[in-house]
Structure 1
Amino acid sequence: MRGFRVVFMCLAALSAPVPAIAASSAWHETEGGRVRLVVFPERTDGSIPALLDIRLEPGWRTYWRDPGESGVPPTVSLPESSGLKLESLRFPVPKHFDDGFSRYTGYDRSVGLPLTLKQKVPGPETTQVSASVFLGICQDICIPVQAELSVELQAGAAVDPAEAADLKAAEAALPAPPSPDFAVIDARWNDDGKSLAVAFTAPGTTPQVFVSGPDGFQFGTAMPTRSGDSYHVEVPLLRKPKNASLSGAAILFTATSGGRAMETTLAIAPHAAP
């Protein structure tokens, strides 16, 4: 059994607009791949784009935000003292895997996860930022990778064109919002609360769906079936926090079909506990 590995990466952030501030961690080599974090100049709306850059060796995999029956989803957190908050961590469409022992959801290729950071309150320019990163990569076994990170920022540093291209490609790979021919028609919990039924339109003939919920919720996999001009799927709810309510739970629905990808937050009909 392979032991745990710790990956140290650098996180950079901004606290005030400047001509250009960009920083990336050094690549940290770990069994099965390497990882770094890149942060880009603050945008006009005050958001700070960043990229969790995960490079995998052939035969290795990493996980989506809901890994399914097994796995470790990637997380990034900033300490309260950082002066920054993590507004979003977004994921391209993953794949379903079945290794004969469990089913899980993730990536069998290198992947970039776009992040958005923002200042909590205006203040003096930040020169050092710390962050924690946690993810898992697997082949025969899963290796949890954890890092406590700190980086010095350098104002005026030019953005590396290759890193800018990586961010652009990662953002382009994200699912699009709903459109007239690719959208959810209806979503509701089944009477027993153990699965989520979704009806949707899709442009292709073999759609795949992925569902994720708040912390503690975990969904399984299911294949959609055609019903007239739309599709229907019932996705099993594998687990949820004991006291969590189904009503009002924020659930993300992601689908691929016809070479396109769509993602939306579900408006779910109220559920009455059985």
Structure 2
Amino acid sequence: MAPTLAAAASSDWFETQGGRVRLVVLPERADGTIPALLDVQLKPGWKTYWRDPGQSGIPPSISFSPASGLALQTMRFPVPKQFDDGYSRYAGYDQSVALPLTLRRDGSAPDGSKVSASIFLGVCKDICIPVQAELTVDLQASATAGSQDEAVVAVAEAALPEAPSPDFAVSDARWSADGKSISVTFTAPARRSDKPPQVFVSGPEGFQFGSGAAPERIGDAYRVDVPLLHKPKSASLSGAAILFTVESGGRSMETPLAID
């Protein structure tokens, strides 16, 4: 990142049939992290996918060119919705979505003026369209961006699931004996309607979980069994980094699962 960068900088919008997408990059923070954003704006009636869509779909991905001198540390997602198109169930979004990114320098020598990234995602209406694009942020043009894009990033970060709290947390998680599903017991805030808590599970690259599992009420808590649809043959269930995401009562929470 250029040392003089003092405001957000944004790529041009990449236009596609179902909407448009851009990359926003903010100044480097004191801890060495660089906040950024993948901004996906959808046209009415179009959808895009969560990080683990389930039975079908293309999860968003982004990688940075070596010349940028940056690497992706995290891509975070607001809680998605569950969809059923009659053929498959999947998790995603039916409105525009902004995905906060955390970047770090990767040790290579950047050119100091531009950040280039390759993005790949899917958008769907009657058909699904793969979207592949190269997005470039000119850091020297940051004077034309600034506070408006910084506010967009702040709003996107505020929309992310909260951390566990006494009334919203996982109390137990374990694999089934055959390793084909994961059972999670959790507490959640009171519901505002008859809609049960919505649960989503995601794992490392190559893991794929089913969506749409219905939690069962057990006393003051809930229990849900989520099927594991696929994992790499070489991957071990022991120690696998699994994320549990749940929405209930107008709130959402996300936490890693501690499973022996």
Q: Same fold (TM over 0.5)?
A: yes
Structure 1 window deviating more from structure 2 (141-150 vs 168-177): it is 141-150
Change (3 A) 1:245 1:122: closer
Q: Is the 8 A contact 2:22 2:135 kept in 1?
A: no
- 1:48 and 2:34 correspond: yes
Alignment of 1:54-93 (within 5 A): 54-93=40-79
Look up the equivalent residue of 2:95 and give its one-letter code.
Answer: R
Look up the equivalent residue of 2:232 and give its one-letter code.
Answer: P
What does residue 229 of structure 1 align with? 220
Distance in 2 between the 1:114 and 1:19 partners? 19
What does residue 213 of structure 1 align with? 203
Q: Report Cα offsets for 1:83-129 as digits up to 9, x if no partner.
A: 11111110000000000011110000001000111112396771122
Q: Is the 8 A contact 2:15 2:21 kept in 1?
A: yes
- 1:253 and 2:244 correspond: yes
Look up the equivalent residue of 1:177 and give its one-letter code.
Answer: A
Calculate percent identity across the aligned residue pairs.
Answer: 66
Change (3 A) 1:231 1:160: same
Q: Is the 8 A contact 1:51 1:114 kept in 2?
A: yes
Q: Is the 8 A contact 1:20 1:159 kept in 2?
A: no
Structure 1 window deviating more from structure 2 (200-209 vs 137-146): it is 200-209
What does residue 233 of structure 2 align with? 242
Q: Is the 8 A contact 1:132 1:148 kept in 2?
A: yes
What does residue 178 of structure 2 align with? 192
Change (3 A) 1:217 1:128: same
Displacement of 1:28 in angstroms is 2.1
Distance in 2 between the 1:236 and 1:124 partners? 43
Look up the equivalent residue of 1:199 and give its one-letter code.
Answer: T
Q: Report Cα offsets for 1:118-157 as digits up to 9, x if no partner.
A: 1123967711222111111000111001113344320762
Displacement of 1:166 in angstroms is 1.2
Look up the equivalent residue of 1:100 and give its one-letter code.
Answer: G
Displacement of 1:37 in angstroms is 0.9
What does residue 136 of structure 1 align with? 122
SS of 1:157's equivalent? Answer: helix
What does residue 167 of structure 1 align with? 153
Distance in 2 between the 1:153 and 1:163 partners? 13
Distance in 2 between the 1:88 and 1:140 partners? 31
TM-score by length of 2: 0.92
Instruction: Give structure 1 stretches of 5+ with no counterpart.
Output: 1-13, 270-274
SS of 1:177's equivalent? Answer: coil
What does residue 181 of structure 1 align with? 167
CA RMSD of aligned residues (A): 1.7
Distance in 1 between the 2:10 and 2:115 partners? 12
Look up the equivalent residue of 1:197 and give its one-letter code.
Answer: S
Look up the equivalent residue of 1:90 and give its one-letter code.
Answer: R
Distance in 1 between the 2:7 and 2:148 partners? 15
Look up the equivalent residue of 1:239 and give its one-letter code.
Answer: H
SS of 1:154's equivalent? Answer: helix
Alignment of 1:115-126 (within 5 A): 115-121=101-107, 126=112
What does residue 97 of structure 2 align with? 111
